[in-house]
Structure formats: C-alpha cells, structure tokens
Chain A
Amino acid sequence: MAEFLRISKLTKHFRGLVANEDVDFTLGSGDVRCIIGPNGAGKTTFISMISGHVVPTSGRIAFKGRDITPMSVPGRARLGIGRKFQTPSVFDNLTVAENIELASIGKHAEGADRRARMGEVLQLTRLEAFASKPALTLSHGQRQWLEIGMLLANRAELLLLDEPTAGMSAEETHATAALIKTLAAEFGIAIVIIEHDINFIRDLGAPVTVLHLGRVLMEGDFAAVSENDDVRNVYLGGEWEC
C-alpha cells in the first residue's frame, strides 16, 4: 500500500536563501511526529509546502498515494490536510460555535449530523463553556485549541500543527499532549507537530525529526535524539539542557 504521506527531495530556496534542502520524510496514517530545530531551521517552511502555502522549488509530495505537489491550498484541505498556523488564525469576531460550524461546512450536512460533530469537537477541545463567546475573548491557549477544533470539524486526516503549545500554561500544555495522543490513537489522525517545548515532546513520546539549516539532521525517538551530540551542538546553550 502507498504511504500515507511521502515526501521526497523537497527543496525550497527563497532567492538564494536555502530554507529546505532535499528533505525526505514519510509518515504512516495515524502516526505522530515532532519536528524540532533552532529558529530559522525551515520548520514552518516545510509544513507550508505540505499545506500548499509555499510552492517548493523542487521535490515531490505524495498524500494517500496521490501526487499533490501542484495542488492548491483549498484542494489539499479538501483532501484532508489541516494546517494550524504559528500565530493562531481563527475567525475573531465569530463565536466559538460559529468558528467550528464554518469549518464543518461541506463535510457535515446542516442539521443533526453537524450539531453532533460540533458538540464532539467542542468537548474534545474543552471549549463547550465558551461556545457562544466570540473567539476574540479566548485566551491564547484556547485559540490554539479552537484552531485545532476547526481542523477536526473540517475532517482533517493529517494535522500540521505549528507550535501549538505557544502561550500555554504547563497544565494546558500537558492537556494538549493528551489531546494529540487521543486524536491519533482513537481517530487515526496523523499529526505533524513543530515544537520547542522539551517537556511537551517528552510527554508526547513520538518520534522526532530534527531540521537544521533546512536539512534533516537526524530522525529517531526522543531519547536517541536528545543524546545525539550533533543535536546538542545545534542547540548549544539553549533550552535543550535536560
């Protein structure tokens, strides 16, 4: 069977600046993967190429056995690729419920089916009590969850999460890790997460891909990566002291 997500030799140059170079990457359905790397390593660029927001210089992206490299952003979203942005992008002036509903249009018919799905999503993202509040009034962490909730309502099969725990308390971060594990284990959703928070990554226990200067420095489980000398050098003196 074809791989769920297979990326080969993906390269992106911004006017000579190498943001990604020859990145190979595969993911099975329901897999979780962390991407780490210092600032400017090319992590956001990498998932932007998967979601279609950045057009690669060269390389190929296959999703569910299909070459999606030339496909548009909305086309990929309809195929099941959901993207959460580094700064949360939600509909600020709409209520939480309206946000979720908008995301479910086209995936869930109006009426009981849609309302059931919305209820499910609100519960998963712990936003039930805020359903009729404008998204603007949510805390930063809740906005992150709302955005994830929208992707669930949108029936994404692959979630691309850019720093989902930024701005979250320790408790919220922990809950986010639990949510991600649930989504993968119970719903079979594949998830790629860009993260800096070392506790979160350990908590998650998922395999890690390290990007550095646009290239894959190494891939492996958390323990192997955190003990690797190259990786420690890249993060020299940073938060990677554990």
Chain B
Amino acid sequence: MSNTRPVPPMPRISLRSESAAAIVVFAVLALLPLMMGGYVIYVLPQYLIYGVLAMSLGMLWGYAGILSFGQAAFFALGAYAMGLAMKAGFGAGDGYLGLLAAIVVGAGLAFLVGYFLFSAGVRDIYFVLITLALSIMVQQIAISQSSLTGGFNGMYIPRMDLALGPLGRVSLAHDRAIYYLVLPVTVAIYAGLRRLTRSDFGKVLVGIRENEGRTLSLGFDTSWYKTIAFTISGAVACFAGALYGAHAEFVSPSLASVAFSTEVVIWVAIGGRQSLLGALLGGLGVAALSNYLDGLSPVFWQLILGGIFVAVIIAFKGGIAGALGRLVARKDDAHG
C-alpha cells in the first residue's frame, strides 16, 4: 500500500476560466463609475442586488438540487426588515440593524422551514410548491398588516448612512457612494458562496443533488446539509432584500409576488444553474434587459422571456454559462 501514486488534484479548466471571467467582470464594474455616470450608475446597484438574489438560488438549485420558488419571499422580508429598522430610531446604527436583522430573519425562517420539511423527506415538486406558497403568504401578510408595512401602498425607506464609528458617517445618498458599497458586497458574497460550493460541504451538496440515497449511505445526514444550504440561501436572499430596500428607498408587497419569485428562477436558469457567476450575470443581465425592453414593448418582452425559459429547460440545461463552459472545454480538448 506504500508505493501507490497519490491522485493529482483534478485539472479544473472550467473553474479557472470562471475565475478569470469573474475578475474581468468585477474589474469592469469597478471602473465603470469612473467612465460614466447618470442613470446607469444609479440603476446598476439594483441589478447587482438582483444578481446576489440569483446567486442565493444558484447555490441552492445548482449545487444542492433544491429548487425554491420562494426566494422573493426572503427578499421582500429583507426589504421590510430594512424599512422597519430605519424607523427604529437608533440613529446611526439603524442601517446596520436592518442588514443584521435581515440576515437573522432570513436565516431563521429558512432554517425553521427547511428543517421542518427536509427532516420529513419533503422534496422536489412538493418543496417547490411550498416555497411558492411561502411567497404568497409573505405577500398577503405584507398587504394585511398595513399599520406596520403600509399595506398595498408600500413603505418608504430612508437611505441608510454608513456609520464608521469615530471616522464619522458617510452618506450613501449619492449614486457612486452606494454603488461602491453594493459592488464590494456583491463580490464578497460571490467569493464566499464560491468558496462554500468548492468546500467539502459543497461537494456533499453535489452528492445530494446527484444521488441522495448514496450520500446518506456514506454517512452524511442529508436533511441537515439541505437545511443548512437553505438557511444560507435564505440569509443571502434576505440580506440582498435589505440592500435593495436601502437602495430603492421603497418596498411594496409586489416584491414577494409569484411573478417576482419566478423571475429569479428564470435568471438562474438562463444564466446557468451550476455557475455562480452565471447566476449573478443572469440576474444582472436579464433584469437589465427586462428593464430596457420593457420600456420598448413590455408584454412581448415578457412573452419572449417565457419562451427563452422554456427553450433553456428543453435544450440548454446549463444555461448560458454551461454552454460557454462546454465551448471552452472543447477548445481546450482541441488544443491539448
């Protein structure tokens, strides 16, 4: 047993090219405000936040194989948490309170729901429909508790300041200021989720996606792994919602609607479920495109989007990122 060769680490061409692509994307995004201003810089943070929301689903769906139609519920909860925190009257700390509350609420709710369901073996379509119900419930609660949430009309949220203790406070009222808050946060969440998916924990999630029975028989308590994955996903989605609330300065019940929940699924399906960068760019790109084309022809664009979604499901399971990855792999094969 002594003279065996250890296995060399697997060559991961696709991972390395994803890293390269990620660096390029983030570098461009970092330089953008130096080159332009106006509407683009105003609106980009919102799309980045959508990208974070998409990543919360990409991790869950792409790696653990758990599809949630309830990401919008967490997102809306986060935005409401931010709104309520800004009313709390702790002065400089309100914004931080909102962000923290969002993480706690998102993680807590996802943990409870996840453990409750996964420990009983609820999965697949049943989980999809329950999470769909979850977003309907959050929306209806937001509508009915109008004294707290403003009901149908929604709730205005003063934009938080960045309190830096003795260094004073940085106002985020300017577009560039909040841009340079949201971008590094996005990068950090991307990096964190990527690390997670490549860790042993992430590998077990992939095992669950591929063959849950086998994973269980190897000694992994799969319902715990799934619960933790959902908890992280819920926390990220809720945190993104709090950022969204701070940026948009407004939240209404439609943020938890079935339509918005679905959009998240579409972003991830189109961008590519098994690539976090794909999910991020899917969220960013499709939301930006939707906004642009919605102006030109709202209904037809939504129709086309539905068509693209169906096409992706039928033909390109890996979304755009998957298709590109295959292309790169083929090239490498040809060269190697």
Contacts and interface: CB of A to CB of B under 8 A. Distances in A.
Interface of A: 51, 53, 72-75, 77-78, 82-83, 89-95, 97-98, 101-103, 105-106, 110, 112, 115-116, 118-120, 122-123, 128, 131-132, 150, 154, 186
B7 A103 contact: no
Nearest to A94: B210
Interface in B264-320: none
Contacts of B203: 98, 101-102, 105
Contact of B200 (A78, A83, A110, A116): A110
Interface in B159-207: 200, 203-204, 206-207
B148 to A, nearest CB: 43
B87 interface: no
B218 A97 contact: no
Most buried by A among B4, B9, B203, B221: B4
Interface in B1-40: 1, 4-10
Given A89-B211, A102-B207, A105-B203, A73 B6 contact: no
Given A74-B216, A110-B200, A120-B1, A91 B7 contact: no
Given A102-B203, A115-B6, A115-B7, A74 B220 contact: yes
A115 B9 contact: yes
B330 interface: no
A72 B216 CA distance: 10
Nearest to A73: B216
Given A101-B203, A102-B203, A74 B6 contact: no
Given A77-B217, A150-B218, A91 B6 contact: no
B121 interface: no
A110 B203 CA distance: 12
B136 to A, nearest CB: 34
B213 interface: yes
A97 B12 CA distance: 13
